[in-house]
Structure 1
């Protein structure tokens, strides 16, 4: 597994630091532009909410980026968090074709 060593930046922080602040746009104004509630966008920018596919489409259109950018940022963040918050996934025994055919 070739994973990032450092924690990826939450997409909400990127929205805040790279878009809202430089453009002097408030969360309320951006939420209105996106057609979502201020609470929804605030949760994301405060790193307590996630980018959904619908939100990725909205952000892509608003910021002239791709929805895939936003989904990839969220995916990278979520995977890193899952990998570091719990070690239960390490208890899973890898499956090989030999093992699958032996049990059949």
Structure 2
């Protein structure tokens, strides 16, 4: 997505922490403690991710992909969409002032 298309979105893309909290954890009957133990990280790390106070790292994407049987790209693409949307909202006006170059 380009910054122009992201800034046009009405709402922020779904954070991976929300996906975990609302979709994956109930389906697998996971608590914060069970999820943290299953992927080998602290409860605090999981809690911060679930509260959307922490971005999903590539390392966590690998852990979650292994646990849930999907791909690390699934998780990283969700985080990338959030990051780009946040950046477009934060500096979109500055970016809009940049004049694209034309090849000679």
Q: Please state if 1:59 is matched with 2:64.
A: yes
Question: May I ask how many residue pairs the two structures share in their alignment?
Answer: 98
Q: Give the TM-score taking structure 2 as reference length.
A: 0.84
Deviations 1:47-99 (A, max 9, x none): 0111111111100000111000000000011101111123322232212223x
Q: Give the TM-score taking structure 1 as reference length.
A: 0.84
The structure whose RCO (Cα within 8 Å, separation 6+) is larger is 2
User: Please, which of 27, 34, 38 is the counterpart of residue 43 of structure 2?
Assistant: 38
Q: Which residue of 1 aligns with 2:94?
A: 88
Q: Which residue of 1 aligns with 2:103?
A: 97
Q: Please state if 1:11 is matched with 2:16.
A: yes
Q: Runs ≥4 in structure 1, deviation > 4 angstroms? A: none
Displacement of 1:28 in angstroms is: 1.4
SS in 2 for 1:84: helix
Deviations 1:10-65 (A, max 9, x none): 01000011111232211111011111111111111100111111111100000111
